[in-house]
């Protein structure tokens, strides 16, 4: 008798290989999911999966299975993912910026620190007088009149322009010249210089005439207003003089007699109340 004939077959060895049967499914091809099947929802385009979040889970970590189902958006993230959510940190208004330092007050304080007698109102008066001296020299085509109140570099430019006008037989007329305001804008002091910028608002009818014919060749005879920034500087070692009532011209000694520009009637030189060393170094037209 063949061994084992008539006996019940021995239990199959679970580790033994079975013959391949193409009509039988491979049991290893199907693995049960560890989590429930992802739920779906019906949409006009078909069905789409839900991403499930459990309460208490950190956003961004999907979990298939749980109590709350959140539909996905087109990017594959939960609907609303990435939208702005107000929080005390992100929506807190930025702290107010510190006010910018005053460009005038700080500079004046630096100047008076080494020149206690400096007076801004007195400086403004001298700045206005300097303005008229420079304009008078321009209209009279006499650059020497403004040499005392202008820095050398600027005065050389001024002189060359006047000489060009003389060569071209041009005279600049500033009829009814008047100053509306003299406003300090900025100031400063450093080891090289003290400086102050003054905004002068003035007006006149400004035009040029041919000195041979008297005909207007440029400009406008209508009164117009304009503004310029005049920057004055001086050596940091200069000191302010005490204002004093002048009775005679400090240049020629004649009894004091000046025109509106502060020009002596005798020597035709500018007369300033006090010479504090200030010279106009830059003129910038604003309008």
* pLDDT beyond 50 at 180: yes
| Averaged pLDDT for residues 144-170 | 93
Give the pLDDT score at 207: 95
DSSP structural state of residue 202: E
Among 21-35, 105-119, 244-258, the minimum mean pLDDT is found in 21-35
pLDDT at 117 > cutoff 60: yes
φ/ψ of 113, rounded to 5, equals -65, -35
Contact (CB, 8 A) for 122 and 243: yes
Q: Which long-range contacts (CB under 8 A, 24 or more apart) does 70-75 make?
A: 71/41, 72/48
Percentage of the chain lying above the pLDDT 90 cut: 47
Weakest-pLDDT range from 66-75, 199-208, 226-235: 66-75
User: Which residue has better confidence, 182 or 55?
Assistant: 182
Q: Which of 63-72, 199-208, 234-243, 264-273 has the highest mean pLDDT?
A: 199-208
Answer for the pair 133, 263: CB distance below 8 angstroms, yes or no.
Answer: yes
The answer on pLDDT for 51 being more than 50 is no
The pLDDT score that the predictor gives to residue 50 is 46
Report the pLDDT averaged over residues 237-259: 73
Contact in structure between 118 and 110 (CB atoms under 8 Å): no
Report whether pLDDT(96) > 90: no
The whole-chain average pLDDT of the chain stands at: 76
Per DSSP bridges, beta strands 68-71 and 194-210 are unpaired
pLDDT at 52 over 50: no
Task: Look at residue 170 and tell me whether its pLDDT is greater than 70.
Answer: yes
What average pLDDT does this structure show over 237-250? 70
Handedness of CA 158, 159, 164, 170 (dihedral sign): positive
Confidence of residue 141 (pLDDT cuts 50, 70, 90): very high
What mean pLDDT is predicted for residues 180-191? 95
pLDDT at 163: 96
* Predicted pLDDT of residue 168: 95
Nearest CA among 182, 273, 183, 186 for reference residue 233 = 186
User: How many CB atoms are located within 10 Å of the residue 121 CB?
Assistant: 9
User: What is residue 92's DSSP assignment?
Assistant: S
Q: Answer yes or no: is pLDDT of 113 > 80.
A: yes
Helices (H), the chain: 105-114, 120-140, 152-167
- pLDDT exceeding 70 applies to what percent of the chain? 61
Q: Lowest mean pLDDT: which of 31-40, 162-171, 209-218, 231-240?
A: 31-40
Phi, then psi, of 86 in degrees rounded to 5? -65, 130
Domains for the chain: give ranges and CATH numbers: 118-237+244-285 (3.10.450.240)
Model confidence at 90, pLDDT cuts 50, 70, 90, reads low
Given a cut of 70, whether residue 13 has pLDDT beyond it is no
267 vs 71, residue with greater confidence? 267
How far is 121 from 240, CA to CA, in rounded Å? 13
């Amino acid at each position: 008798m063949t061994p084992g004939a008539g006996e019940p077959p021995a239990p199959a060895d679970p580790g033994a290989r079975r013959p391949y049967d193409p009509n039988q499914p491979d049991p290893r091809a199907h693995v049960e999911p560890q989590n429930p099947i992802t739920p779906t929802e019906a949409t006009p385009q078909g069905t789409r999966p839900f991403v499930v979040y459990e309460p208490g889970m950190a956003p961004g970590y999907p979990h298939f299975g749980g109590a709350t189902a959140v539909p996905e958006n087109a990017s594959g993230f939960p609907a609303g993912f990435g939208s702005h959510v107000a929080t005390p940190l992100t929506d807190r208004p930025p702290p107010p910026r510190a006010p910018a330092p005053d460009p005038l007050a700080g500079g004046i304080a630096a100047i008076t620190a080494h020149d206690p007698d400096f007076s801004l109102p007195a400086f403004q008066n001298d700045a206005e007088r300097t303005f008229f001296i420079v304009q008078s020299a321009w209209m009279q085509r006499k650059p020497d009149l403004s040499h005392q109140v202008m820095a050398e570099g600027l005065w050389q430019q001024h002189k060359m322009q006047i000489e060009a006008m003389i060569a071209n037989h041009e005279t600049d007329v500033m009829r009814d010249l008047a100053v509306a305001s003299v406003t300090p804008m900025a100031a400063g002091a450093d080891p090289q210089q003290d400086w102050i910028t003054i905004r002068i608002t003035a007006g006149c009818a400004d035009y040029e005439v041919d000195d041979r014919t008297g005909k207007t060749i440029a400009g406008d005879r209508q009164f117009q207003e304009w503004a310029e920034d005049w920057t004055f500087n001086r050596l940091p070692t200069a000191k302010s003089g005490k204002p004093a009532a002048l009775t005679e011209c400090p240049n020629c000694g004649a009894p004091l007699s000046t025109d509106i520009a502060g020009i002596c009637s005798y020597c035709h030189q500018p007369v300033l109340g006090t010479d504090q060393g200030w010279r106009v170094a830059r003129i910038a037209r604003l309008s």
